[in-house]
């Protein structure tokens, strides 16, 4: 018997639920864009969506865009501007309400690594030694993490990705926790949630350490804790996340017309 929806679809819907109608929102390419345009198709018709390249007013055509500037996202735009405008004037300025970014590694304070993986214990050391595996770098995620009112991190929930401390901070979460962000003059408030393939983590209001806030219907507290590399605390009001409604699934599948989230 096949499940009525996939884990990836649950993750995209849970992320989309974080986006409110009317917000100025910036989505990266891939999963986060699907989550954002799902929100627009379902409960946030007036979300003002933009890409970091300065494509405004567009919705994807013909499937998941290959890139944030490719023809699938450039076919019905109402404005083309630039990176300086999108990431600078609209994000670094503090105007953007919410951003969605991905992570190869994320730690308990919501710091994100998308730059590289180092061998051994993963600690780089004083000398910036060569990585075992080079990844994609920060892209616009550092700028979103510094400037957006809040941001949401999407990551596959595996112990190797959910680490106590990332090897390299590509995009800052709450750094060492507490009010550590405040000394840098960031216009943005930091990560509001980590949406994973198993559930949702949110920061403790004081320590800023991420705690389990909800588990997806097909997961459990035990499974999530077992796949987290730090001693994950459970928020007092943690609960099961409601499964996708038929309306949500239908809206997501209209956006994900090539079925990228339904493949394994």
Binding site for other proteins (CB under 8 A): 29-30, 51-55, 61-62, 64-72, 74-75, 80-84, 87-88, 91-92, 111, 115, 124, 126-143, 146-147, 168-172, 175, 181, 183-187
Of the two residues 126 and 222, which places its CB atom closer to other proteins in the complex? 126
Residue 217's alpha-carbon distances to 4, 60, 243, 248, in angstroms, are 12, 29, 6, 15
Q: How many angstroms separate the CA atoms of 33 and 14, rounded?
A: 13
Of the two residues 1 and 130, which places its CB atom closer to other proteins in the complex? 130
52 is catalytic: yes
List CB contacts of 243: < 8 A, sequence separation 6 or more. 5, 10, 216, 217
DSSP calls for 239-256 = EEPPPPPHHHHHHHHHHS
Residue 239 phi/psi, 5-degree rounding, is -155, 170
Of the two residues 97 and 143, which places its CB atom closer to other proteins in the complex? 143
Least distance between other proteins and beta carbon 257 (Å): 13
Least distance between other proteins and beta carbon 184 (Å): 4
Least distance between other proteins and beta carbon 28 (Å): 9
Of the two residues 103 and 232, which places its CB atom closer to other proteins in the complex? 103
Residue indicated by tokens 């996202």: 73
Least distance between other proteins and beta carbon 135 (Å): 7
Which residue among 9, 18, 23, 52 is the active-site one? 52
Residue 241 near residue 224, CB atoms below 8 Å: no
Supply the residues annotated as catalytic.
52
């Amino acid at each position: 018997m096949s499940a009525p929806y996939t884990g990836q679809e649950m993750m995209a819907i849970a992320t989309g639920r974080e986006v409110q109608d009317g917000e100025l929102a910036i989505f990266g390419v891939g999963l986060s864009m699907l989550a954002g345009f799902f929100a627009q198709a379902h409960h946030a018709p007036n979300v003002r969506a933009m890409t970091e390249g300065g494509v405004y007013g567009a919705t994807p055509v013909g499937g998941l865009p290959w890139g944030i500037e490719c023809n699938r996202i450039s076919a019905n735009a109402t404005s083309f501007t630039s990176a300086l405008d999108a990431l600078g004037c609209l994000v670094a300025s503090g105007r953007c309400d919410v951003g969605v970014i991905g992570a190869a590694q994320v730690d308990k304070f919501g710091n994100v690594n998308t730059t590289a993986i180092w061998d051994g214990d993963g600690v780089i050391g004083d000398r910036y030694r060569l990585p075992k595996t080079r990844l994609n770098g920060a892209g616009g995620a550092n700028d979103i993490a510094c400037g957006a009112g809040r941001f949401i991190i999407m990551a596959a929930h595996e112990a190797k990705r959910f680490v106590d401390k990332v090897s390299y901070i590509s995009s800052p979460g709450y750094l060492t926790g507490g009010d550590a962000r405040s000394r840098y003059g960031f216009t943005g408030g930091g990560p509001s949630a980590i949406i994973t393939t198993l559930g949702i983590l949110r920061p403790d209001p004081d320590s800023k350490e991420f705690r389990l806030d909800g588990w997806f219907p097909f997961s459990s507290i035990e499974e999530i804790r077992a796949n987290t590399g730090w001693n994950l605390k459970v928020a007092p009001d943690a609960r099961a996340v409601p499964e996708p409604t038929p309306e949500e699934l239908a809206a997501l599948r209209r956006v994900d017309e090539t079925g990228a989230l339904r493949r394994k």
